[in-house]
Amino acid sequence: MKQEQLTREEMMLKHPEQYYLWLTTKDDESRSTDTSPVKDNKSRTTDVLDPYLHKIFEVSDKYLKRVFNEEVLNEFRIDCFRHIRGDRNSTIEQYVKAYYDLIKREYQKQYTNADASLNQSIFSQPHIPKALWGNCLDFLRRMDSESVQLMVTSPPYYNARDYSQWATLDDYLDEMSSIIKECYRVLDNHRPFVFNVGDIFDNDNRETKSSWGKRRIPLGAYFTQIFEDHGFQFVDDFIWDKGEVQTQRHKNGNRPYPLYQYPVNCYEHIFVFYKHRLDEMPYPCPICGCLKVNGNAYSRVGVKSWECKNLECFERSAGNRGKRFSARTQLMTGLQRSENLVGEDLLHRWRRDVVKLAPVIKINSKGQNTLGHTAPFPKEIPEYAVQVFTGINESVLDPFAGSFTTTIESFRQKRNSIGIELNRTMFRDAVLTRFSNTVGIRPKEVDSE
């Protein structure tokens, strides 16, 4: 049978395996003089492909076949050969990034409820803030897994406001638990959730409905348990010192006798919870780009580490050990670019575990609420979280956006900023006015179905 005559480009597309074989069975010199199946000199692969990419696939081939099925691997090869250009270092960098992106896409495919058009609205145009109106649980369930790099929020504090009421504390905690479970899925791996909540003074309505049932409700403790139950790791708890209490209501100043004293709300928690999903996928060595790696060790915190076993790697220790790395270290070094440098002032301000921040003054001299919301948090909270936990262009989500403080602040910091708020009727006008007054832009709005 007559063999079809194909250009390299056609061969790459139609028969990636043959093409790959051709690349890996010939050395550079014979490849550059081999003209056999090529009709058109303009598509000669040696003009467009970086030779080191061949080397990566050559060394990694057997390991790649263990990780990906044939179809996925062929597509990946073609994509790499088509798009990766440059000198050796840049080839390695681009290849490693392409590999991480592939692992992410493959992981995301496992979740079948994602809504492609919603994800397109949220993640395209990262320079435009997004306002999603509806129940965050519904939106989260339609979002891609591990698609958001930071979550910052302050939930409704049980029955502290008219706009959010539950019959009992347990109903409230159950609802919050379903939401946090979904947040865990949507949050990217090795990324944090910064969660501001107060230990309010209220009635849990479990048994005693009268004022006798009022007590300090340790929402911070309950939420810590919920977060841990869903796989998050408790990492930090800043105490937000709210300064002088604005009211005497629980102090019973008119009854200065024993047992009349009740708590006041003069502090809140700002928790940092991390997601560390143990990802068993092997990752290529960041130094030579090859997948000839062995799992080294992993701790119980959910981070697996790897050691490069490619003897031709460009970095070996004095004891001839290969480069040791993890997906997490790779993520962290990748963020070390000048545009992500965190200011010293900010770091200094948050160096202590107790942070003094004045509560937001929302009522003006005429008694009007200028933010249109009764419970905004200070912009310093998202300002800190966004700069310390994300890089430029990454995505920040506030599932309980309220007056969109997080969304406005992360937009200011050039992040893809997304807020979800249930009470559209109550807050939309004020939110749009706040966007135009502070950052001069209208958010892209998405309504729940």
Ligand X SMILES: C[S@@+](CC[C@H](N)C(=O)[O-])C[C@H]1O[C@@H](n2cnc3c(N)ncnc32)[C@H](O)[C@@H]1O
Site residues (vs ligand X, CB under 6 A): 135-137, 154-156, 163-164, 373, 375-377, 400, 402-403, 405, 420-423
Closest approach, Cβ 172 to ligand X, in A, equals: 10
| Cα separations in angstroms, 67 against 102, 103, 169 | 11, 10, 46
CA distance 329 to 190: 10
SS (H, E, C) the chain: CCCCCCCHHHHHHHCHHHHHHHHHHCCHHHHHHCCCCCCCHHHCHHHHCCHHHHHHHHHHHHHHHHHCCHHHHHHHHHHHHHHCCCCHHHHHHHHHHHHHHHHHHHHHHCCCCCCHHHHHHHHCCCCCCEEEECCHHHHHHHCCCCCECEEEECCCCCCCECCECCCCHHHHHHHHHHHHHHHHHHECCCCEEEEEECCCEEECCCCCCCHHHEEECCHHHHHHHHHHHCCEEEEEEEEEECCCCCCCCCCCCCCCCCCCCCCCCCEEEEEEEEECCCCCCCCCCCCCCCCCEEEEEECCCCCEEEEECCCCCCCECCCCCECEEEHHHHHHHHCCCHHHCCCHHHHHHCCCCEEECCCCCCECCCCCECCCCCCCCCCHHHHHHHHHHCCCCCEEEECCCCCCHHHHHHHHCCCEEEEEECCHHHHHHHHHHHHHHHCCCCCEEEECC
Give the nearer residue to ligand X in terms of CB position, either 126 or 402: 402
Write down the least CB distance from residue 266 to ligand X, Å.
17
Smallest gap, in angstroms, from Cβ of residue 429 to ligand X?
A: 14
Instruction: For residue 190, report the phi and psi dihedrals to the nearest 5 degrees.
Output: 65, 35
Which is closer to ligand X, CB of 73 or CB of 386?
Answer: 386
What is the maximum span of the chain, computed from C-alpha positions, in angstroms? 104
Least distance between ligand X and beta carbon 201 (Å): 16
CB nearer to ligand X: pick between 56 and 217 = 217
Min CB(376)–ligand X separation in Å: 3
Nearer to ligand X, 137 or 239 (CB): 137
Tokens of residue 352, six digits: 């202590």
Closer residue to ligand X in complex, CB, 370/423: 423
CB of 420 to ligand X, least distance (A): 5
Residue 163 or 234: which CB sits closer to ligand X? 163
Of the pair 322, 402, the CB lying nearest ligand X is at 402
Q: Using CB atoms, what's the residue nearest to ligand X? A: 402
- Whether 142 and 114 have beta carbons less than 8 Å apart is answered as yes
Q: Rounded to 5 degrees, what are φ and ψ at 193?
A: -120, 115
Nearer to ligand X by C-beta: 163 or 298?
A: 163
Q: How far is the CB of 133 from ligand X (least distance, A)?
A: 9
Least separation in angstroms between residue 173's CB and ligand X is 13
Q: Measured from the CB of residue 50, what is the shortest distance to ligand X in angstroms?
A: 48
Least CB distance to ligand X at residue 227 (A): 17
* Residue 45 or 147 having the CB closest to ligand X: 147
Query: What are the phi and psi torsion angles at 308 (to 5°)?
Result: -70, 130
CB of residue 135 to ligand X, shortest distance in Å: 4
Q: Which is nearer to ligand X, 197 or 287 (CB)?
A: 197
- Whose tokens are 């109550």? That residue is 426
Residue closer to ligand X (CB basis): 152 or 290: 152
